[in-house]
Structure 1
Amino acid sequence: MMDWTDRHCRVLHRLLTRESLLYTEMLTTGAVLHGDRARLLAFSEVEHPVALQLGGSEPADLAQAARIGEAEGYDEINLNVGCPSDRVQSGRFGACLMREPELVADCMAAMAAAVKVPVTVKCRIGVDDQDPEESLFGLVDLCARAGVSTFVVHARKAWLKGLSPKENRDVPPLDYPLVWRLKRERPDLTIVINGGIGSLDEAEVHLEHVDGVMLGRAAYHTPAILADADRRFFGADAAIDPFAAVEAYKAYVASELAAGTHLAAMTRHMLGLFHGQPGARAWRRILTVEGVKAGAGLEVIDRALAAVSGLEAQRVPRGLEAGEAA
């Protein structure tokens, strides 16, 4: 979810679900150790619980980056062993580390020794010609011996050559039963499943077999599905109203606008909020077209809300007063 689940996105998602664990986009150890930490690691207090996801392959660097993340207040440090992009491969991290499970275990041991918050792994079931049963179970067992108890498993292989990152999210077949089996045969571990899960109904089916479900693209493109997560899975009395979430988000937007953040940087994460509802196209159009203009502010969100709530349809279009024909 690189370039997607930034701090603005996470605030919006937190206003839709108060209980679900949120993850940052993946940050490399180099960025954390040598980059602009104030910008890269900043997050709002409302985001808790929130996990920092790291990319790297040097145990010492990962340990130091984990310490920094813990000091910044993150609730969990996660190592990404699943991203298949060329940029990630060239840096020897992400999914290519599925080929080096001993190194991953060394990295996790170093991170676990460095911090008190949980350290977790996000991985694939394998890469290229690996046997998924061997690659997945082997990686998990080595990391478990290094002190890891929680694994997020994208239930697809990654093909490091021949498929683009986008194709790697869709083309390799999903093997949910293998991840279910991992939980069945390693009952002491916390197993979270990921990959191709598009609804809370689907998530509920998986929760009969594993401990948790991670939603990626579905949560981003149709974030309103998160609004019922607390009621369905965490015992809340009612679902969260997306309109109320937008009103709450406006307070955050106002504070960020005052700090110099452009409106479009925040509204781009809202485009799919009313997907499938009347007025959704107008909502997207107003946020997209008007949100990028210089000086755009909260009035853009208000206009978009009016369109999707039906208030826009009740207004007489300018130029049609006084009996003019359309």
Structure 2
Amino acid sequence: MAAFGTVFMPEMSISWFDGEGWSTAERVASDSIQLHPGAHVLHYSSTCFEGLKAFRHQDGSIKIFRMDRNIARFAQSSELLSLPAIDPAQTEAMILDIVKHFAADVPEPPGSMYIRPTHFGTEPAIGKAAAPSLTSCQYILLSPVGDYFSGGDTTLRLLLDDTGMRCAPHMGMIKSGGNYASALNPILKAKKELQADQVLFCPGGDVQETGAANFLLIDGDEVITKALDESFLHGVTRDSILTIAKDLGMKVSERQLTVDELLERAAKPGCEAALSGTAAVLTPVGTLIHKGQEYKVGNGGVGETTVKLRQALNAIQWGQAEDKHGWLTSI
């Protein structure tokens, strides 16, 4: 099977902002895009994106999960990066159009169609290091995918980094490519030296997020995760899992979590940890690495509550459980 996110539909939906308004969206070939070498995005990283999924239900219908929430975050990221404002209604129409066009290619569960809206500055002006791009482009790219972590019933190894940070604190809530690039070198170093799968960034001992997913600690019937602020991404899957946990009668604590508390709780029998994200869904963490020592989370295996929460989310996405929060949109 091809690696996650490396297969694309042959067409995408695209629209251009000329400084005054957005062009009518059109479907074009997805394997190329024309861009001036002086484009703002190539020099000053004026770019943001989203990740959401469309699912095939047993009756053949196609449903997109929490599209409104992703579009709202897309608009927020664009605003915080000083990109031209997107038109949320147009972005929604572009997503619906391209997914409907390739509806026959949406995989059966557990696969899905990954949807990647992208917005970037196009103005050819290399003198605008301290000024925004007045023109931009947005497109909707589709990729049929399977599981992001394809290791089966295995757990991840996380390095706890309490000295560095994933990105500049005021940039954390923006879904921008630069945030992922800044985290890449520490992740690669942790993989090479410690066989870690990811780095959990904990600047000053404050447990935040990994390079590509939010972090959740599950201690008995309580889910603990950092309270929302601008230092880390406000994950849609994170919000969904917390909502489901409340529906199941669990206690949800959004608050500061220190490395010391994390290691103390993780050692308790039955404790679990997981990463949440559109791609990762809810992936169990079995080992924490800190200052040269390894700490098992619970028994180091896949936790029952993690599996239960993931299955509950998947059941809604796949049309096997009631969508009582109105998270699904029909194409």
TM surpasses 0.5: no
Which structure ranks higher in relative contact order (CA pairs < 8 Å, sequence separation ≥ 6)? 2
TM-score (normalizing by structure 2): 0.26
Q: Which structure has more strand as a fraction of its residues?
A: 2
Larger radius of gyration: 1
With structure 1 as the length reference, what TM-score do the two structures score?
0.26
